[in-house]
């Protein structure tokens, strides 16, 4: 009888009898035992001993962990405090200067400490810890600087790289992050890394031609009050600018950098003990560095990456990643705010009750308000208003005068027009509205904030207005759309309360509203995004290619960038030996 392999049963039994069933090492030789008991000496097989393996083959590093925004405590999205070893471990030299900006000290080991002009304060940085970043308010009297020391000045680099983490909410205003540049005196330009028209901007001057500038710009909007990693490189042939680990601009520069006598600055240019800063920065700067190495894209991404420790004690051979997705737009819990908000109307089951500390319910003062599906798709949780509908309550106790305040909601409309979404007060209102073009904005007296992005598209959007007359970055009013800063203003006007029916949610407005709140303080951009990210049903985990997120495996940690994961999602991360 033959088998489907073409072998007879007798031949298959012969193969089985000859096959190896056991093996052992005696001395340096490997001995194999057949089924019939005969022994085969396979010869010398002993080599050098391998590394001792870990107790287990796999280690779960993170499970169902939120990918918090950079600058929040416990975030793993990207960013960490840098040290010289982060450069030298990649085969680079130690940086010429490295400033972690919890103070003015240089962490490179070269003791090139900054001078602090204008009492620049140190506030929360990219790791979410207090006093780990420099805070600038757009004042020409503020700058961190190191005076030029002559021909041997270490920052008179001919080729090299420089960069920093930064954030700003001040839009459409040119502001310099770091520089060795003086545009006020002929022949003192070298390089300046800036934000111009809300995009990255790099300007350099060639050796021997300091009056001639070569510039280039990036493409991403980085005036959104989120942390961004901005790096420039100069290699004698090209200049390049990178934003968040992505090459965004390249220009031909077949020369070396001009060796300017201008001071080195963080937070502007040309500032020192006697000269004011030009193009001052509105916002924060963290982890600034200068090196005479020309960084590659991979090295820049390694410097940008978050450090995720593991306990394998050996170099992992495999990394696995799963993302647990969540929908946005669920009822916002009180715990999503730093403290209980004054008003919170989630409209759960169509109720007009107030979960805020004032416990003042809304009332339908005219027209009809119809229950509709919430932004997360649940059966009720939103109100559909006609143009004749008014949902109102007293504005007693809401922030007035110049008190800090934050307010917002989810909204949806197909209609373009001058329609208030939320408001209170009389005369000058605390207000969020659309205009005749269907763009979202806010007024404070004659000052118009926003009115840039069309939102009358029939989709759910999340809008928030934050007003703070004592804003640390000088931007007193910010408009957030779908978790990002959409506009900013340095103007804030006083609000006078109107009393009964002074507070309205969607008054006289055709559309849907949900999850409305008023908070008696200035929410940070991270807090606004956290409220925006409030999710509902957890969807099935989705496996992701770990190579899209993990930049480097090391014996004690992973270096990863999780920017592509939504802030409302969580991750499961596992490493294996």
- Output the DSSP codes for 227-280: -EEEEEEE-SSEEEEEETTEEEEEEE--S-B----SPEEESSBS-SSSSPPBS-
- Spell out a b/e string for 251-288, using b for 16 or more CB atoms within 10 Å of the CB, else e: eebebbbbbbbbbbbbbbbbbbeebbbbbbbbbbbbbb
- pLDDT at res. 48: 44
- What share of residues in the chain are helix, strand, coil (percent, to 5)? 5, 45, 50
CB 524 within 8 A of CB 276: no
CA gap 509, 159 in Å, rounded: 59
Summarize pLDDT for 440-483 with one digit per residue, the tens. 999 988 789 999 999 999 999 999 999 999 998 889 999 999 99
- pLDDT at res. 12: 61
CB 455 within 8 A of CB 461: yes
Which CATH number is correct for 336-533, 3.40.250.10, 2.60.120.200, 3.40.50.620, 3.40.190.170? 2.60.120.200
Low-confidence residues in the chain, pLDDT < 70: 1-37, 39-57, 210, 507-508
pTM for this predicted structure: 0.79
CA-angle at 189, arms to 188 and 192, nearest 5°: 140
Structure tokens at 272: 């020192």
CA distances, 91 to each of 11, 293, 487 (Å): 60, 10, 42
- pLDDT at res. 459: 95
CA gap 289, 433 in Å, rounded: 43
- pLDDT at res. 86: 97
Fold of 84-304: Jelly Rolls (2.60.120)
CA-angle at 567, arms to 571 and 407, nearest 5°: 150
- pLDDT at res. 13: 65
What are the sequence ranges of the domains in the chain? Answer: 18-47, 59-69+309-327+540-576, 84-304, 336-533
- pLDDT at res. 7: 60
Write phi, then psi, for 17 (nearest 5 degrees). Answer: -65, -30
Summarize pLDDT for 230-272 with one digit per residue, the tens. 999 999 999 999 999 999 999 999 999 999 999 999 999 999 9
Q: Whose CA is closest to 189, among 215, 164, 166, 165?
A: 215
SS3 301: helix
Q: Whose CA is closest to 530, among 326, 312, 299, 229?
A: 326
- pLDDT at res. 3: 43
CB 442 within 8 A of CB 421: no
The contacts of residue 188 (CB under 8 Å, 6+ apart) are: 181, 182, 210, 260, 261, 262
Write phi, then psi, for 89 (nearest 5 degrees). Answer: -65, -20
Domains 84-304 and 336-533 share a fold: yes
């Amino acid at each position: 009888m033959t088998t489907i392999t073409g072998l007879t049963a007798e031949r298959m039994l012969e193969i089985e009898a000859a096959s190896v069933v056991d093996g052992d090492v005696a001395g340096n030789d490997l001995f194999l035992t057949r089924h019939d008991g005969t022994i085969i000496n396979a010869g010398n097989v002993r080599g050098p001993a391998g590394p001792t393996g870990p107790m287990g083959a796999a280690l779960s590093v993170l499970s169902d962990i939120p990918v918090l925004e950079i600058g929040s405590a416990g975030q793993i999205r990207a960013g960490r405090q840098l040290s010289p070893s982060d450069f030298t471990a990649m085969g680079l030299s130690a940086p010429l200067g490295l400033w972690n900006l919890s103070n003015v000290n240089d962490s490179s080991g070269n003791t090139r400490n900054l001078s602090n002009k204008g009492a620049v304060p140190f506030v929360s940085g990219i790791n979410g810890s207090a006093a780990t970043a420099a805070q600038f308010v757009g004042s020409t009297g503020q700058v961190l600087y190191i005076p030029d020391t002559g021909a041997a000045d270490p920052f008179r680099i001919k080729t090299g790289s420089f960069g920093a983490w930064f954030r700003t909410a001040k839009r459409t205003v040119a502001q310099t992050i770091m520089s060795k540049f003086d545009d006020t005196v002929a022949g003192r330009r070298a390089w300046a890394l800036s934000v111009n028209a809300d995009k990255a901007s790099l300007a350099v001057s060639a050796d021997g031609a300091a009056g001639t500038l070569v510039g280039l710009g990036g493409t991403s909007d980085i005036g959104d009050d989120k942390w961004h990693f901005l790096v420039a490189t100069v290699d004698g042939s090209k200049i390049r600018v990178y934003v968040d680990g992505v090459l965004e601009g390249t220009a031909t520069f077949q020369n070396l950098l001009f060796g300017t006598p201008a001071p080195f600055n963080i937070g502007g240019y040309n500032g020192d003990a006697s000269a004011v800063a030009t193009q001052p920065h509105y916002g924060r700067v963290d982890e600034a560095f200068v090196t005479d190495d020309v960084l590659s894209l991979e090295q820049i991404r390694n410097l940008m990456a978050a450090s995720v420790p593991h306990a394998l004690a050996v170099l992992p051979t495999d990394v696995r990643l799963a993302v647990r997705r969540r929908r946005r737009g669920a009822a916002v819990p009180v715990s999503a705010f730093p403290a209980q908000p004054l008003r919170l109307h989630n409209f759960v089951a169509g109720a007009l009750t107030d979960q805020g500390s004032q416990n003042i319910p809304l009332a339908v003062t005219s027209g009809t308000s119809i229950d509709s599906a919430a932004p997360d798709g649940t059966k009720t949780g939103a109100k559909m208003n006609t143009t004749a509908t008014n949902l109102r309550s007293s504005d007693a106790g809401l922030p007035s005068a110049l008190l800090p305040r934050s307010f917002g909601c989810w909204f949806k409309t197909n209609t373009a027009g001058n329609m208030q979404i939320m408001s209170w007060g009389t005369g000058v209102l605390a207000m969020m509205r659309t205009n005749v073009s269907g763009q979202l904005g806010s007024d404070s007296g004659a000052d118009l904030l926003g009115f840039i992005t069309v939102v009358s598209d029939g989709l759910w959007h999340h809008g928030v207005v934050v007003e703070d007359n004592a804003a640390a970055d000088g931007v007193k009013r910010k408009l957030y759309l779908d978790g990002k800063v959409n506009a900013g203003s340095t103007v804030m006007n006083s609000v006078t309360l109107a009393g009964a029916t002074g507070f309205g949610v969607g008054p006289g407005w055709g559309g849907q509203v949900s999850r409305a709140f008023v908070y008696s303080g200035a929410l940070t951009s991270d807090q606004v995004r956290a409220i925006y990210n409030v999710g509902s049903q957890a969807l099935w985990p989705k496996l992701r290619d770990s190579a899209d997120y993990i930049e480097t495996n090391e014996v004690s940690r992973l270096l990863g960038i999780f920017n592509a994961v939504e802030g409302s999602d969580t991750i499961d991360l596992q490493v294996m030996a």
